[in-house]
Amino acid sequence: MKNIHLQYFAILREFRGQNEDSWETTAATAGDLYEELKTEFKFPLTQKQIRVAINGEFSAMDSLLKTGDEVVYIPPVAGG
Amino acid sequence: MKANLFQLTSQSFQAHHFVREMENHAAGAYTSFEGWVRNHNEGKDVASLEYEAYPDLALKEGCRILAEALEKFDIIDSRCIHRTGHLQIGEIAVWVGTTAKHREEAFTACRYIIDEVKSRVPIWKKEHYADGDSGWVKCEHCASHIHRH
C-alpha cells in the first residue's frame, strides 16, 4: 500500500465532492490510480481526455507512484 | 534585464496598472490582448463565469510560456494576468501585454502567449447560464456521462 495526496479541480472536484484526499492505493501508475478513482467516484472523463501532474509537474500517465506523491488529474483546460 | 511575469488574481483589474510597469524607452511598440467575459456561448445566454486554477502548476506553466515568447521573438517584455473566481459579464478574464522595438514581433508574441495560455495552463472555466444551468467548458462535451447535481 502507498499513500497518495490527491487534489481535485473543476469537474473532477465536483464529482469527488471535495478538494483533496489522502488515498491508500496499490495502483502502480498514475493511470492505474485514475482508473481506480474513476470507478469509485464515477468521473466522467477517460484517461485519454486528461493529463496528470505529479509533485507539481506534468507527468506521463505511466509514471510509477510512490508514497507521499502529490497527484493532480487535469481535465481539459479552458483558460482565457 | 528581461522581466518575466505571469500572475493569477482573484481581484477585478484594469490593465493600465501593468502597462506602466512595462514602460521602456527602447520599446517602439506595445500590444495587448484582453479576454472579456461574453454574454453568450454556443447559442446559450451566459450570466457569469467562474475560473478555477491549479495555482502551483498554472504559475509555472504561465511563466514557461512567457519565457518561451522571450526566447522565440525579438521582444523586450511580456506579461500575463489571469483572473480566478466568479466573473461578471464584461470583466477582464485575461490580459496579455508585450513590448518590442517593432510592432510585428509585439503582435506575434502577444498572439503566441494567449494561444499557449489557453491550451496549456491548468485553468478551467465554468459557465453559468441565464436558464440556471451551468457547465465546465471543454469538459461537458467530452464527458461520457454527466450527473447533474
**Secondary structure (3-state) at B28:** coil
Q: Which domains does chain B have, with CATH numbers?
A: 4-136 (3.90.1170.40)
Residue in this structure with the C-alpha cell 494561444, named with its chain if needed: B115
Nearest to B107 by CA among B34, B32, B35: B32
Q: What is the mean pLDDT, run by run of 10 residues, along chain B of 149 residues?
A: 75 91 96 97 95 98 97 97 98 98 98 98 97 92 56
pLDDT at A4 over 80: yes
Complex ipTM tops 0.90: yes
Rounded Cα gap, residues A34 and B83, in angstroms:
29
B chain contacts of residue A45, beta-carbon cutoff 8 Å: 139, 142-144
Nearest to A76 by CA among B34, B139, B7: B139
Give strand pairing partners of B83: B9
Do residues A69 and B111 touch, judged by C-beta distance below 8 A? no
> Per CATH, the architecture of A2-74 is what?
Roll (3.10)
**Secondary structure (3-state) at A53:** strand
B13 min Cα distance to partner chain A (Å): 15
Question: What pLDDT is stored for residue B1 in this prediction?
Answer: 40
A chain contacts of residue B144, beta-carbon cutoff 8 Å: 44-46
| Mutation to test the A interface, candidates B82, B116, B124, most A Cβ within 10 Å | B124
